[in-house]
């Protein structure tokens, strides 16, 4: 690493890989590479990661008490690649002295709080290789004679953007996750929250109780985060009404049945990758209800029981506004007004609220936004989407030798698990293998002057 205008020895200072973002995806890769380095120190890869958060964090704003994982603990960061790894969830449990207690729970689904602690436990091993509190803002191609064989990864301190540094890398892996999606014309603020910030915002409001003027929260969305937000606010604000605005007739269950679940298997990635594009589209449509705008069945029943019990009690605090959608928010002197349109009555309902919570999901980020001058050299398909090789490397024009790998943003090529946890363990192994192939090739080229990666 060097200050922005410092000098580099052309290749000597370069990392074999710089990871942009240090969420679960790049953490799983850090582990895969570390385990390779331990096994084969002679071929060790030099890696570093840059993360904009001040410390490791996995969707901290949604670490709601009682919320559970949507995948089995066996889909931790390593087990499906190597169950003997010391980074398994089971090893974590043993180290925390909870292995027997967890077994007695008879559940495959730990709470998100516990899984976060597991991830944090893994991440702590990589503190020395992770620059926290820095945001990657630019990627600059580096090369000679028209060949780009390295990049400079420019990052700035989140606390002090004038503090810029550069890391030179032979490969990069973009693992920056998704970005919150907001309805058109609505922006987040003091009284309009995306679920990403739910816990921070709600806890702050709970502390200043006098701020609750309307005793009402409006939650917009029909997916898992929406249902969790409704449940959470209902518990944390026992005097408030919670209005759930859903476009469907109610919450629909996630299909987590065994055959459908196979869409999340590592083998499904192979099959999906090789399939023609109309088959890909069909599969994504058929199985959208395994992941998108659906809710865990137990939570649906729990919410329904609450609604029913409140009817019995004659005090209905949890209201479902079904077949409805948010058409606007208006800021008022003492809160915010949600304008909700019912598609069945064709009428608007105004909900004066203390806060509107937008559980409206996340969108993919085009990695080209970050790639700067490299972006035009990325190959694209006939829909303008980036083309990605099976080893998760972006296909580029021939003069680009630097490897640009993607973790996420590859649903169109690698399928529905692209932005999920399910295949992180196996995908990390694949990226590590690909890096090694390129690494070996580079060494051979240095020795005998030949071009092209050569596998041993
Ligand atoms: P993730 O978003 O976790 O990490 C990306 C990291 O990059 C972030 O830490 C971010 O700060 C950093 N970053 C971004 N831009 C940067 C830049 N320019 N410079 C430096 N750093 C940058 N999936 C699943 O399979 N099972 C589950 O149970 C759940 N549960 C779940 C709950 C909730 C509340 C949400 C919102 C999502 C899930 N998911 C999930 C899906 C979720 O996307 C997945 O669990 C992981 O977060 C994916 O990990 P990534 O590392 O790809 O992205």
What DSSP string runs through 150-182?
EEEEEEEESS-TT-EEEEEESEEEE----EE--
Helix (H, G, I), strand (E, B) or coil at 356: strand
| Locus of tokens 């503090």 | 163
Pairing verdict, β 241-245 and 318-321: parallel
Q: How would CATH label the architecture of 2-177+365-447? A: 3-Layer(bba) Sandwich (3.50)
User: Measured from the CB, is residue 51 less than 6 Å from ligand 1?
Assistant: yes
User: Measured from the CB, is residue 139 less than 6 Å from ligand 1?
Assistant: no
Per-residue pLDDT of the chain (456 residues; tens, 9 = 90+): 777 766 665 566 899 999 999 999 999 999 999 999 999 999 999 999 999 999 999 999 999 999 999 999 999 999 999 999 999 999 999 999 999 999 999 999 999 999 999 999 999 999 999 999 999 999 999 999 999 999 999 999 999 999 999 999 999 999 999 999 999 999 999 999 999 999 999 999 988 867 788 999 999 999 999 999 999 999 999 999 999 999 999 999 999 999 999 999 999 999 999 999 999 999 999 999 999 999 999 999 999 999 999 999 999 999 999 999 999 999 999 999 999 999 999 999 999 999 999 999 999 999 999 999 999 999 999 999 999 999 999 999 999 999 999 999 999 999 999 999 999 999 999 999 999 998 876 443 334 333 333 333
| Locus of tokens 């024009």 | 397
Two structure tokens written together for 252: 């629909």
User: Measured from the CB, is residue 205 less than 6 Å from ligand 1?
Assistant: no
Q: Whose CA is nearest to atom 23 of ligand 1?
A: 420
Query: What ligand 1 atom has the least distance to the C-alpha of 27?
Result: 51
**250 CA distance to ligand 1 middle (Å):** 27
Q: How far apart are CA 434 and CA 189, in angstroms?
A: 43
For domain 182-254+292-361, the CATH superfamily is: FAD/NAD(P)-binding domain (3.50.50.60)
User: Measured from the CB, is residue 245 less than 6 Å from ligand 1?
Assistant: no
How many CB atoms are closer than 10 A to CB 60? 15
Instruction: Report in angstroms the alpha-carbon separations of 132 from 127, 159, 165, 427.
Output: 9, 11, 13, 24
Sequential DSSP letters for 371-400:
HGGGGGGB-B-TTSPBPB-TTSBBPB-TTB
Angle, alpha carbons 177-102-100 (nearest 5°) = 140
Of 420, 422, 426, which is best to mutate to test ligand 1, by the most ligand atoms within 8 angstroms of its C-beta?
420
> Helix 424-448 vs helix 266-274: angle between axes, to the nearest 10 degrees?
70
Helix (H, G, I), strand (E, B) or coil at 156: strand
**109 CA distance to ligand 1 middle (Å):** 18
């Amino acid at each position: 690493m060097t200050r922005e205008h410092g000098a580099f020895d052309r290749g000597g200072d370069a990392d074999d890989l710089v990871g942009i973002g240090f969420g679960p995806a790049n953490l799983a890769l850090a582990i895969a590479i570390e385990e390779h380095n331990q096994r084969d120190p002679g071929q060790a890869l030099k890696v570093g990661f840059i993360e904009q958060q001040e410390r490791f964090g996995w969707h901290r704003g949604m670490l709601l008490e009682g919320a559970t994982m949507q995948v089995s603990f066996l889909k931790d960061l390593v087990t499906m690649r190597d169950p003997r790894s010391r980074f398994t969830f089971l090893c974590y449990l043993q180290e925390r002295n909870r292995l027997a207690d967890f077994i007695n729970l008879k559940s495959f689904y730990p709470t998100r709080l516990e899984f976060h602690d597991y991830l944090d436990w893994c991440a702590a091993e990589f503190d020395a290789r992770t620059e926290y509190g820095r945001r990657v803002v630019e990627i600059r191609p580096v090369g000679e004679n028209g060949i780009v064989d390295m990049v400079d990864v420019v990052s700035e301190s989140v606390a002090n953007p004038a503090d810029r540094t550069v890391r030179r890398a032979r490969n990069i892996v973009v693992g920056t996750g998704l970005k919150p999606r907001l309805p058109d014309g609505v922006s987040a603020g003091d009284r309009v929250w995306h679920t990403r910030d739910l816990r921070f915002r709600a806890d702050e409001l709970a502390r200043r109780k006098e701020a609750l003027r309307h005793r009402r929260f409006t939650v917009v969305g029909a997916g898992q985060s929406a249902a969790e937000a409704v449940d959470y606010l209902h518990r944390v604000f026992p005097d408030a009404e919670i209005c759930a605005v859903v476009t469907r007739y109610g919450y629909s269950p996630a299909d987590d049945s065994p055959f459908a679940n196979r869409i999340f298997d590592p083998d499904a990635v192979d099959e999906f990758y090789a399939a023609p594009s109309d088959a890909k589209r069909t599969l994504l449509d058929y199985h959208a209800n395994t992941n998108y705008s659906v809710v865990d069945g137990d939570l649906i029943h729990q919410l329904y029981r609450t609604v029913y019990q409140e009817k019995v009690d004659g005090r209905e605090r949890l209201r479902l506004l079904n077949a409805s959608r948010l058409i606007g928010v208006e800021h008022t002197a003492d809160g915010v007004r949600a304008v909700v349109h019912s598609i069945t009555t064709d009428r608007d309902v105004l909900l004066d609220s203390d806060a509107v919570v937008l559980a409206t999901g996340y969108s993919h980020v085009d990695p080209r936004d970050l790639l700067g001058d490299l972006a035009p050299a990325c190959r694209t398909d006939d829909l303008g989407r980036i083309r990605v090789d099976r080893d998760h490397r972006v296909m580029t024009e021939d003069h680009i030798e630097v490897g640009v790998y993607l973790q996420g943003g590859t649903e169109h090529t690698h399928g529905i698990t692209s932005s999920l946890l399910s295949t992180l363990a196996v995908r990390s192994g694949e990226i590590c293998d690909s890096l090694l192939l390129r690494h070996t090739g580079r060494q051979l080229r240095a020795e005998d002057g030949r071009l092209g990666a050569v596998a041993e």
